[in-house]
Structure 1
Amino acid sequence: MTPCRLYVLPAAAAPTAVIMRRGPSAWWHLLAWDLQSGELSSGAWLRGMLYPGRSALSPDGKLLGYFALGHGRHPWDTYFAVSKTPWLTALAAWHTHGTWTGGCEFAADNSLTISASMDERPFHGRYPYGATVGTLTRRRDGWRPLTGASGLLRRVQPGGEHALITARTGSPHYLREDAEGGRTPLPEAAWADWDGRGRLLVATHQGAVKIVERRSGTWVETWSRDLNGLTPAPAPSPSWARAW
């Protein structure tokens, strides 16, 4: 069986993340990941196409900006939307003129910048924090260009002496850098990042999510969940996810 594919969007200012899971190939599933308790909460299932690299989570982790290709009629064929995590019920949606979009960024006050060829006004709902069409900084939170290495990004461990290194574009690959500059490849990582406590978060090529911590000089896996084997079970979003 082909493993599911995983992409994680961590919140910048809260101990939470959203997991975007693809599998079977026509289906996407969203899960909220509580990084304090380790609890996973299932959300929306979508039969269509999502673009995790063009999506973003608000700083508090409560809102998701996403680009989708649906199988609906115009204007729901290609659109950018904002929803409450981990659901995809659009509270505001803008029609995009084809599939070109660079993604989005939330500011600290939840105002939104969207990079896309799209209508400036939403065709559905409203966005109370303000949204503009503009240019993105294209910078993942905490990641900075690696000095002397074109195309690589480095992220220092919060409160620690280690770092992660990855490529800016192309197939994801990650290295863990120790305090002395030694680098260890992380071949199982389809995605990796630090949480606010300096723990290493990993989504693997084999369809699992993990938390790895530094204990007594050794990296120890302290939590994991295998997300393979989930069966599509679309359901209506709860009432709190359908209104501001």
Structure 2
Amino acid sequence: MASSAPPCRLYVLVATAAPVALIMRRAPAGWWHLLEWDLRVREVRPGAWLRGTLYPRRCDISPDGKLLGYFALGHGQPPWDTYFAVSKAPWLTALAAWHTGGTWTGGCAFAGDNSLTISASMDKQPFHGSYPYGATVEALSLDWTYRDLQNEYKRGWRPIEGAAGRVPPELREAVLVGRIRPGGDRALVLAHTGTDFQRHGIEGVQVNYLREEDDGRLTPLPEAAWADWDNEGRLLMATRDGAVKIIEQRSGTWAQTWSHDLRDLTPDPAPSPTWAQAW
């Protein structure tokens, strides 16, 4: 019998300087699970489980994919109620943590030397641990659309001029951004149509993806909940029904070459390994 539970929700953070990504999975209700996606050997390895709330669009991983900066809303006593922390991916053991003013948080960004910039209403100094690479806390920005798409901007996505005439009518009022495929000249296009917490979407953000073909047409990718190019020009995708995929162009045709099903996972929290518990 098919499951009546809603599908899991997926979001992916891709390292800019290593063939690795972090999958952030929400399901069942109230639970998050982190998984390491090794793009070189095409494997997914489980990491932390959290009973609470994470804000994936406000998180970042370091260029080498080894560190995670994340905002969390938990069930602990202050200051562990709402906080920003840095951990070793794919685990959530906080090696440094700052208290935040509720969920009034923007985002964070790692530089190439692992120094960190954090945008939020939060304390300037960590209440737990320390961050050896240096962290700067900036005032919270109120540009919510930028906050929704900041991870795309970090990876080279940019606003597209004149694309409204090539998208379906229902997307012509959307915010359109695109990224050219590495090693190619065609784009992946994202249409941001707003926020609706009653519909499928990470942090309620409603997105649609389209792939530009060799003849300039934009092909909708309705199964994509998240998509981006990796550094080799492969199309990475997290689907609305709970899978992650690699799609490649071969002989002029796009073909799925690998997939991993993440739908039916049961919470199984475990302590982080020793290497993730200290600098």
Shorter-normalised TM range: over 0.9
Match of 1:172 among 207, 220, 232: 207
Question: Using the alignment, how far apart are the partners of 2:135 and 2:192 within structure 1?
Answer: 26
For residue 235 of structure 1, what is the aligned residue in structure 2? 270
Residue 2 of structure 1: how far off its partner (Å): 1.6
For residue 159 of structure 2, what is the aligned residue in structure 1? 145
Question: Does 2:169 match 1:133?
Answer: no
Question: Using the alignment, how far apart are the partners of 2:107 and 2:113 within structure 1?
Answer: 18
For residue 180 of structure 2, what is the aligned residue in structure 1? 156
Q: Deviations over 1:154-185 (max 9, x none)?
A: 10000123210003563010000123321100
Question: Which TM-score applies when normalising by structure 2?
Answer: 0.85
Tell me the secondary structure at the aligned position of residue 154 of structure 2: coil
CA contact under 8 A between 2:48 and 2:269: conserved in structure 1?
yes
Question: Using the alignment, how far apart are the partners of 1:148 and 1:123 within structure 2?
Answer: 48
Percent identity of paired positions between Structure 1 and Structure 2? 70
Question: Using the alignment, how far apart are the partners of 1:162 and 1:225 within structure 2?
Answer: 26
For residue 77 of structure 1, what is the aligned residue in structure 2? 81
Question: Does 2:232 match 1:197?
Answer: yes
Query: Across the two proteins, how many residue pairs are aligned to each other?
Result: 244
Question: Using the alignment, how far apart are the partners of 2:29 and 2:228 within structure 1?
Answer: 25
Question: Using the alignment, how far apart are the partners of 1:72 and 1:233 within structure 2?
Answer: 19
Tell me the secondary structure at the aligned position of residue 53 of structure 1: helix
CA contact under 8 A between 2:192 and 2:208: conserved in structure 1?
no
Greater fraction helix = 2
Task: Show the 5 A alignment for 1:1-244.
Answer: 1-134=5-138, 138=150, 139-148=153-162, 151-168=175-192, 170=194, 171-244=206-279
Residue 64 of structure 1: how far off its partner (Å): 0.5
- Structure 1: runs of 5+ lacking an equivalent: none
Q: Deviations over 1:41-94 (max 9, x none)?
A: 100000000000110111110000000000000000000000000000000000
CA contact under 8 A between 1:161 and 1:178: conserved in structure 2?
no
Runs of 4+ aligned structure 1 residues displaced above 4 Å come to none
